[in-house]
Chains A and B, each alone.
Chain A
C-alpha cells in the first residue's frame, strides 16, 4: 500500500514540477505548484510525518501560494511573459540538472544496502507533541531565529510593498518624491482657490 502511494504521489510530484517549469502562463504554473505541494504532503504521510504534512498544506499550499496567486493577479498580463533562455542557456540548464541527477543515482546504486528499511519508531513519531517538545528544548535557538526571520520578512514586505508611500528624502537637499508631490498638491490647491475666487467674483458681478 505504502509503495503504491509512493509511486503515484512521486510521479504526480515530478509531473507537476515539470509542468511548473515548462508552463507558459505563470498562473497555471502556480496552480501546478499547489498540486506538487499536495503530492509532497501525501509523501510526508507515507513517512509518518503527520505534522509536517499538515503544516505543508496549511503554510505552503494555503498561505504562501495564496500570496503568489494574489501577486500574479495584481500584476495581470505584465506577469504573463513567456521568457526562457534559448540555445546555450537552455542547454546549460538541462545538462546541469541531468549531471546532478545522474551523480545521485550513481551514489545511491553504490550503497544499496544502506538503510533499506525504515527504523522502528514509537507511535508518537512525527506527532505535534514530539515536535513541539523538540522545538522548545533541543532546537530552541532555531525556534527563536525563526521568529526573528519572520519579523524581518514582515518588515521587508511592508517596506518593499509600500513603495513611495513611505517618506523619502532626495539626495543632497534636493526635494524628494514626497516633497515634490506635496508642492504639486499645494499648487493645485492654490489654483483651485483662485478659480473659486473668480467664480465667486463673477457671481457677485452678475
Chain B
C-alpha cells in the first residue's frame, strides 16, 4: 500500500516552504545556498512522485536535469563566496549592497 499523491504533494510543499523560510531568514550566504538545495530537492521529489503516479519516465529525466543544474549553480555560488572571502568582505548578504539603488 502506498500513500496517494496528495501526501507526496504535501510533503514536497512542506520541504519547499522550509527551504524558502531558510533563504529569507538567514544572512549567511552558505546557509542560503543550503536552503536553496532544499527547495530544489522538494521540486525534484514532486517530479519523481508525479512520474510514478501518472506513469512514464519523463519526470525522472527532468529530475536528473534539475540535479545537473543545481550542481552548476552550487559551483558558481561557492565560487562567489570564496571570491568574497578573499576580497575580505564579511559573509553577510546584507552587507553586499553596492548595487543597491
Given A14-B11, A49-B60, does the pair A119, B26 have CB atoms closer than 8 Å?
no
B74, A68: Cβ atoms closer than 8 Å:
yes
Dominant secondary structure at the B interface:
helix
Q: How far is the CA of A6 from the CA of B5 in the complex (A)?
A: 12
A96, B71: Cβ atoms closer than 8 Å:
no
Verify if B101 is at the interface (C-beta below 8 Å from A): no
Q: Which residues of B contact A191 (CB under 8 A)?
A: none
Shortest distance between the CB of B12 and any CB in chain A (Å) = 9
Q: Which residues of A contact B67 (CB under 8 A)?
A: 55-56, 59-60
A17, B72: Cβ atoms closer than 8 Å:
no
B2, A68: Cβ atoms closer than 8 Å:
no
Q: Which residues of A contact B71 (CB under 8 A)?
A: 59, 63-64, 150, 153
Dominant secondary structure at the A interface:
helix
Q: Which residues of A contact B68 (CB under 8 A)?
A: 59, 146, 149-150
Shortest distance between the CB of B95 and any CB in chain A (Å) = 10
Question: What total of chain A residues lie within 8 Å of the partner, measured CB to CB?
Answer: 90
A150, B34: Cβ atoms closer than 8 Å:
no
Closest to B53 in A: A115
B31, A20: Cβ atoms closer than 8 Å:
yes
A101, B13: Cβ atoms closer than 8 Å:
yes
Shortest distance between the CB of B78 and any CB in chain A (Å) = 5
Of A111, A134, A159, most B-chain CB atoms within 10 Å: A134
Shortest distance between the CB of B29 and any CB in chain A (Å) = 9
A interface, CB within 8 angstroms of B: 2-3, 6, 10, 13-14, 17-18, 20-21, 23, 26, 29-30, 33, 36-37, 40, 43-44, 46-49, 51-52, 55-56, 59-60, 63-64, 67-68, 71-72, 74-75, 78-79, 81-85, 89-90, 92-94, 96-98, 100-101, 104-105, 108-109, 111-112, 114-121, 125-126, 130-131, 134-135, 138-139, 142, 146, 149-150, 152-154, 156-157, 159-161, 163
9 more CB-based (< 8 A) A-B contacts, given A64-B70, A83-B92, A139-B61: A2-B3, A21-B38, A23-B31, A36-B41, A49-B60, A75-B91, A85-B27, A100-B13, A142-B61
* 22 examples of A-B residue contacts, CB within 8 angstroms: A14-B18, A40-B44, A40-B45, A47-B8, A49-B51, A49-B63, A74-B82, A79-B28, A81-B27, A81-B28, A83-B94, A85-B26, A96-B20, A97-B17, A100-B16, A104-B13, A108-B9, A125-B55, A130-B57, A153-B73, A153-B75, A161-B82
